[in-house]
Amino acid sequence: MGAAASNLERRVPDAVRAVGPSVAAVAALRSGSVDGKRSSAPAAATAVVLDADGLLVTNHHVVASARELRVHFPDGRTDPATVVGSDPGTDVAVLRVDRRRLPAARLGRSEELEVGQFVVAVGNALGLPGSPTVSLGVVSALDRPLPGADFVFEGLIQTDAAINPGNSGGPLVDLDGAVVGMNTAMVPFAQGVGFALPIQAVARIARELRERGRVVRPWVGTNVADLRPDLAAARGVPAYSGILVVQIVARSPAHQAGLRPHDIVERVGPFDVGRIREFLEALSRYPVGSDVEIGFRRRGERLSTALALRERVPLAPRAPA
C-alpha cells in the first residue's frame, strides 16, 4: 500500500471519530394509510448538533408533515425533538431537544472547498441499526443547481460520496472532521451524484431560524430574466453579462431606486451578476434594511443607484364572499 493510500486510510476514520459524537439519527413519525388502514411509519434521517444547548440542524423535508420527531444520540439516549424553525426555501430546519452539554460539531469553511477534494458523508443511511454510516468520495462540482428541486437554493456542493435515504440532514465532512456541508439530496436516475448545502449558508439560515423562527428575505420588486443570447443580441450586449429587468412593481424598492423595465442589472454591491441565481445569491448576503448599490446599464449607459432592501409585507386575506 502506498504512503498516500495509507494516509487516507488513517484520516477517514479519524474524521469520522471527530464528527461522530455530533451526528444523531432522526426518526420522523408521519401518519399514513396502507390498504385503507391508518398506519404510522417513521422516516429515517440525520441531524447535526449545532451547539451544546440542545440545538440540531437537519433538512426541512425531514420535518415537514411529521407529527412526532425523536432523536437518537450516539451515547444511546433518545429524546423527543421540537421544531424551532423550518425553511422550505432552502430545505433547512432547526430542532431542539431538552438536553445540555451536547458535543457540537466543528464547522469548516465551505467556501474554501476545491473540486477533487476528499469528503466523507456521515449519516443514518436507510435507517438501519449500527449507524452512523460512512461513505467516501470527492467534491465533484461546486455552486450547482439541483434539477427538479422543491427549494430554491442553487449553490450546492455536488459529491460522489454515496448519499442514500436516511442521510438527509447529515454532515458532509472534510478529512479533518470539520463539517463543510449538509447532505440534502441524491439523484435517483444517476450514479454517484449527491448534493449538500454549504455549511456557511446552513449556519446563517439556522441562526435566523433560531432568532426569528423563520427566514426573512429581502424584497426588491422586480421580475427579471436571464440575458439569453437572443435577448442579448437584440440589445447589443454579450450574453449573460447581466440580468434583464422585465417588470417593476409600483412603489417597490426597485421602483423607488429608479430601476425601470429594460434596464440590465450588472452588479449588486461588489458582486457581478450574469444570471438570476447570482443576482439572488448576491442579494441574500444583505439583511433587510440594507442600502445596496446596484450597477446597471440603460440604453448603453452604465449607471448606479442605491436600493433599500425591505421585507415583503404579506397581503391581507380577503374577506369571504
* Ranges of H-type helices in 236-319: 253-256, 276-283
Q: How many CB atoms lie within 10 A of CB 101?
A: 8
Please give the angle made by the CA atoms of 57, 89 and 94, to the nearest 5 degrees: 15
By annotation, the residues acting in catalysis are: 61, 91, 168
Residue 137 near residue 121 (C-beta atoms within 8 A): yes
**Rounded CA separation 103/85 (Å):** 21
Contacts of 34 (CB under 8 A, 6+ apart): none
Q: How far are the Cα atoms of 69, 82, 113 from residue 64, in angstroms, in the given order?
A: 11, 12, 30
Q: How far apart are CA 99 and CA 112, in angstroms?
A: 33
Cell representation of residue 61? 423535508
Q: How many residues in total does the chain contain?
A: 321
* Residues 21 and 132 sit within 8 Å (Cβ to Cβ): no
The residue written with cell numbers 449607459 in the block is: 301
DSSP state of 131: P
List the end-to-end C-alpha distance of the chain, in Å, as a whole number.
Answer: 77
SS3 204: helix
CA angle 158, 162, 166 (to 5 degrees): 105
What is d(CA 155, CA 153) in angstroms, rounded to the nearest whole number? 6
